[in-house]
Chains A and B, each alone.
Chain A
Amino acid sequence: MVPASYYLALSAMLFCIGVAGFLIRRNIITIFMSIELMLNAVNLTFVTFSYQWHALSGQIFVFFVMVVAAAEAAVGLAIIIAVFRTRETLNVDQVNLLKL
C-alpha cells in the first residue's frame, strides 16, 4: 500500500506548480488552468485524508469542489471570451484598467 505521505507530497507539488503558473504566466487561459490544478491538488489531499481516516466527508467535499470548479469554468471561460472580444488579447498585463 502506497503511504499517504506520497499522495500528500504529490498534492503539494501540484499545488506549487499551480501557484507558480498562476503567478508567472500571463495568458489568461493558462492562469485558469493553474487554478484548476490547485483545486485538484486540494481534492487529492481531501481524498487522501478521507481514505486514511475512513471518513466520507472528505470525499463528499471533493464533489462540492468539482461542482464549483465546473461552474467556475463555465463562468470564467465566458468572461475570458468577453474580454478577448473587447480587447483582442489574453495577456492579463494588458487588462489593467484599474491601475494607477
Chain B
Amino acid sequence: MNLRLWLIPLLPLLGGIINGLFGRLFSKRVVTAVALASTAAAFAMALYVAANFASMPADQIPHAETLSFPWISITGFEVDFAFFLDQLSLIMLLVVTGVGFLIHIYSAGYMADEEGYYRFFSYLNLFMFFMLTLVLAANYLLMFVGWEGVGLASYLLIGFYFQKQSAANAGKKAFITNRIGDFAFLLGMFLLIKTFGSVDYLQVFHQVSAMGVEHAHAGILTWTALLMMIGATGKSAQIPLYVWLPDAMEGPTPVSALIHAATMVTAGIYMVARSSAIFDRAPIALTVVAILGALTAFFAATIGLVQTDIKRVLAYSTISQLGYMFMACGVAAYSAAIFHLMTHAFFKALLFLAAGSVIHALGGEQDMRNMGGLKDAIPYTFWTMAIATLAISGIPPLAGFFSKDEILWQAFSSKPTGWIFWLIGLITAGMTAFYMFRLLFMTFFGERRAPQYADTHQGHAAAAGHGHKPGHGVHESPWIMLGPLVILAFLSVAGGWVGVPKALGGQNHFEQFLAPVFEQYAPHDERRLAEAEAGVVGPAANRNEPVPENPESATELIMTGVSVLVALTGAFFAWLFYYKRPELPQRIVQHARGLYTTLLNKYYVDEFYGATLTQPIMRGATDVLWRGVDVGIIDASVNEAATASQEVSRGVRRMQSGNLRSYAGWVAFGAALVIGYMIWTGIR
C-alpha cells in the first residue's frame, strides 16, 4: 500500500515557497488562501493516512515508504529519503497537522493588520514542513533535518518583529541554545553510526534489541542515550537548556501557541519516545531524564507563580508540563508522555490562542496587572480559557486530568524511588493549578485595572508589537479567531477520554494503541517477568497497568483523589489570593521578599549563564580570538606583508624613473661591469 507519505510534508513546503517568493505580490486574501489550503491539504492527507492505517494489518506496521532515489550512499552506509508510519508517528502527525491547521486559521485573524503578513505565513508553512519531516522520518538523519529546520523556523518566527531589538535577541538566544543541544544530538547520531552502521530506526532498534540492559555500567547505549537526551533538553526546553523558551514569547502569539507550546517543543519528547529501545537499555540515562524532567517541572512551576506577563506565565507553564513529559519518559512510561503531549498540545495551544485573543482585545497589552474584569467584555475568550485552565489544572473529566494522572501514577509505580517523582509531580500539579487560576482571576475577574483601554492608546500597542486600530475599546475577537478556540476547547474537554485508565473504569485505549511501538523492542528482563507473574499476557496488554482486581487499583484511585485534591487546593488559594482578598499576595510578598525576588528573577539563571558562560565566551572571543588571533595574527600578517612589499618597491621603483638617460646610464654601467669582469678574468 502506497500512502504517499512524502506528500504530507511537501504540501506545506509548496505553500511556504509560493508565499515566500511571490507573497509580496499577492493580496492578503490570496496569501491566506495559499497558506490555509496547503495546511488543510496536509491535514486531509493525515486523515486519509489515519483512515488507511486503521485498516492496516498489524504485521505491516510500521509502514515504511522510501523515495526511489537515495540520499547518501557510500560503501557500508546508506541513508534514504524514507518515511515511516507507526502508531507514534500517526499521533504526532495528527496533532501537528490538526493543531497546526487550527492555528493557521487563527493567525489569519490575529495577524490581519500586521506588516509582513505573507512572510509570517511563509515561515509558518515552512515550520509545518520541517515538523512533519521530523515526525515522519524513518531515520535519525532525516529526523535531524526536520529537527534543525524547526529550529530555523522557530528562529525566524521569534524574530518576526525583527526591528525590535529584544525580539531579534530572543531569536538568536533560541537558536544558539538549541545549537548546543543539536550538537549533542549529532554526537549521539555519530555514536549510532559508529556502533550500528546505520541511522535507520528499524535497523538500529533491531540491533539494539539484541543487546543487554546496561545495568551498572555506562556503555555505548548509555552514552548515546545521554547525548540524545541533551539534544532533547535543548529542543524541549528542559534544564539546563530551557532558558530560550520564555524569551521566545517575543514572537507573535500564534507562533507561541504552535511552535513554543504545542508542537516543536515536543520534538524532544517524541525523540526520546521514538528511541525507547535505546533508553530502555540505559537505566542510568533514564534516571537522569526522570530527574531532569522532575526538576524542570518543579522549578519552572515555581517561577510561573509570580510572573506578571500573561505569555510568560504560559511559557513557564509549558516548560513545567514538558518536564512532566520528560519525567514520564524517564520512568519508561512513554505512552503516558505521548498522551500528555497530545492533551497538552490541545489545552496549551488553546491557552496561548486565548491569551492572544485577550492581548488582541486590549490592543497589545500583555501585563496581567493591567488586565482584570474582562469576563463580560470578551465572553467567548473567557469561557474557552476557563476550560483550558481546568484542563491543565487536572480537574476531571477534562483532558489534562487523565494524562497528568497517568504520568503521576506511572511515576509512583515505577521504581522503589518512584514516590519521589510522584511527590514532585504532585506539588507541581498544585502549583500549576495555582498559577493558572491566578492568571484566570487576574485577567478576567475583579475590577478593570486599566480604564484607559476604553480610549485610544496607540503608543502602547505599537510598543507591545501587536498594534491595533485605536478608538476601538475592549472588543471580542472575530470569529476566525474564536472558531479555533472553540474547537480546541472541545478537544481540551474530550481529548483525554481516549485514555481513561482501567482504575476509573476505562479501557485506556490510548496506551493500548501505542503499546506495540514501545513493546516491540523492549528489553526482555525483569519488567516482563514481573508482568508475567502479575498475569499480564500478550504484547498488547498494558505494561504497568494493573488488572482491575489488583489491589493496586485501589491505590491508584487514592492517588487520583489526592492529585485532584491538590489541584483544587491550588485553585482555591488562587481564588483566595487573587479574587477574594487581593491584598493578601502583597503581604505575603513583604514577608518573603527574598524568595519572591528570586522567583521573579527566575532564580537568576539567565544572570548565572551570563556570568559563567556568555561573558567568558564573549570576552574570549573579543580579546583572544578577535583582537588576538584575528587582528593580531591574521590581519597583522597580511598587513605586514603588504607594508613590507611596499617598502621594498619604494626602493626598487627608483630604477623605473622614466628618465631616458638614467636608463641609458644603467645599461652603460652594466655593460661596463661585464666588460670589467671579462678584462679582469682575461688578465688573470
Contact = CB atoms under 8 A, between A and B. Distances in A.
Contacts of B660: 31, 92, 95-96
B668 A19 contact: yes
Nearest to A95: B660
B163 interface: no
B597 to A, nearest CB: 73
A93 B659 contact: yes
B661 A100 contact: no
For the complex, would chain B's binding face be called helix, strand, loop or mixed by DSSP majority? Answer: helix
Interface in B185-231: none
B665 interface: yes
A2 interface: no
A99 interface: yes
A46 interface: no
Contacts of A22: 661, 664, 668
B654 interface: yes
A93 B658 contact: no
B73 interface: no
Contacts of A23: 661, 664-665, 668
B659 A96 contact: yes
Contacts of A96: 657-660
A100 B657 contact: yes
Interface in A1-47: 19, 22-23, 26, 31
B656 interface: yes
B653 interface: yes
B657 A99 contact: yes
Contacts of B668: 19, 22-23
B664 A100 contact: no
Interface string B620-660: 00000000000000000000000000000000011011111
A98 interface: yes
Given A19-B668, A23-B668, A93 B661 contact: yes
A85 to B, nearest CB: 18
B675 to A, nearest CB: 11
A32 B659 CA distance: 16
B646 to A, nearest CB: 14
B651 to A, nearest CB: 12
Nearest to B665: A23
Interface residues on B, range: 10 to 19
A74 interface: no
A95 B662 CA distance: 13
A99 B664 contact: no
Contacts of B661: 22-23, 26, 92-93
Contacts of A100: 653-654, 657-658
Interface in A43-100: 92-93, 95-100
Interface string B653-683: 1101111110011001000000000000000
Contacts of A95: 660
A93 B668 CA distance: 18
Nearest to B660: A92
Q: Which of A22, A26, A31, A95 has the most CB of B within 10 A?
A: A22
A95 B663 CA distance: 13
Interface string B481-522: 000000000000000000000000000000000000000000
Interface in B427-486: none
A98 B664 contact: no
Interface string B348-384: 0000000000000000000000000000000000000
Contacts of B658: 96-100
Contacts of B657: 96, 98-100
Question: Most chain-A CB neighbours within 10 Å: which of B654, B656, B659, B665?
Answer: B659
Nearest to A34: B664
Contacts of B653: 100
A87 to B, nearest CB: 13
Task: Identify the interface centre among B656, B657, B660: most chain A CB within 10 Å of its CB.
Answer: B660
Which residue, A23, A93, A95, has most C-beta atoms of chain B within 10 A? A23
B30 to A, nearest CB: 66
A60 to B, nearest CB: 25
A31 B658 CA distance: 16
Contacts of A92: 659-661
B665 to A, nearest CB: 6
A96 to B, nearest CB: 5
Contacts of A98: 656-658
Contacts of B659: 92-93, 96, 99
A42 B661 CA distance: 21
Nearest to A99: B658
Nearest to B650: A100
Contacts of B665: 23
A97 B660 CA distance: 11
Contacts of A99: 657-659
B648 to A, nearest CB: 15
A23 B672 CA distance: 14
Nearest to A96: B658
A86 B112 CA distance: 74
Contacts of A31: 660
Contacts of A19: 668
A99 B659 CA distance: 7
Nearest to A25: B661
Nearest to B672: A19
A41 to B, nearest CB: 14
Contacts of B656: 98
B504 to A, nearest CB: 99
Nearest to A26: B661
Nearest to A20: B668
Given A95-B660, A96-B657, A100-B658, 16 more contacts: A19-B668, A22-B661, A22-B664, A23-B661, A23-B665, A26-B661, A31-B660, A92-B661, A93-B659, A96-B660, A98-B656, A98-B657, A98-B658, A99-B659, A100-B653, A100-B654
The 5 closest A-B pairs by CB, nearest first: A98-B658, A99-B658, A92-B660, A96-B658, A99-B657
10 contacts: A19-B668, A22-B664, A23-B664, A23-B668, A92-B659, A93-B661, A95-B660, A96-B658, A98-B657, A100-B657
Interface of B: 653-654, 656-661, 664-665, 668
